[in-house]
Amino acid sequence: MHTEYTDYEVSQIYQRNVESIYRLCFIYLKNAADAEDAVQSVFLKLIKSGKVFTDGEHEKAWLIVTAKNYCKDLLKSWWKFRRVRMETLPEVSYWDDREEGGEILKQLLALPPKYKEVLYLYYFEGYSVKDIAEMLSRKESTVQTQWFNGRKRLRLSLKGGNHYAEFN
């Protein structure tokens, strides 16, 4: 089923989801400019698709999967490999501006992609292992292992600071 969205409906969907989609794109692309472009592309894809959602969770899951796929495609493209990488931190408004949040983000971004996407979806977006497995088209046991190993790696990288307890 497809529909044509009104400006108001697009605005509401955007407001509900923009921060989550931005954070996910930033985790993949590692710079604010590319993440912002990706967010625009994901929402344009939504408008063009006319996708109708059954509820808010369906809407959010569709946007997350679309963003993940868009970012992965962008990272595989020849254009990305021929650009100069500029490592920057995300806009403060999109992240917890407390010192602990910044350190956790920094350590999360340093993890391999298979761990950071699972940890992001679990801790920042509140998805269950089962939901993450469906979104990422992986077995639940694989996601569980990636969550466990990613959490262990994050804990080790944060050990010694006061951030350690947050992922116990």
* Residue 2 β-bridge partners: 51
Q: How far apart are CA 63 and CA 59, in angstroms?
A: 6
Q: Kindly list the structural domains of the chain, giving each domain's residue range(s) and its CATH number in brackets, ordered by start.
A: 1-87 (1.10.1740.10), 96-168 (1.10.10.10)
Q: Which residue has the higher pLDDT, 4 or 17?
A: 17
The identity of residue 163, as a single letter, is: H
Cα torsion 158, 111, 130, 47: sign: positive
The answer, as to whether pTM is greater than 0.75, is: no
Task: Kindly give, in sequence order, each residue whose CB lies less than 8 Å from that of residue 11, ignoring residues fewer than 6 positions away.
Answer: none
Q: What are 82-118's pLDDT values in tens digits?
A: 444 433 334 333 444 444 556 777 788 788 888 888 8
Whether the pLDDT of residue 163 is over 60: the answer is no
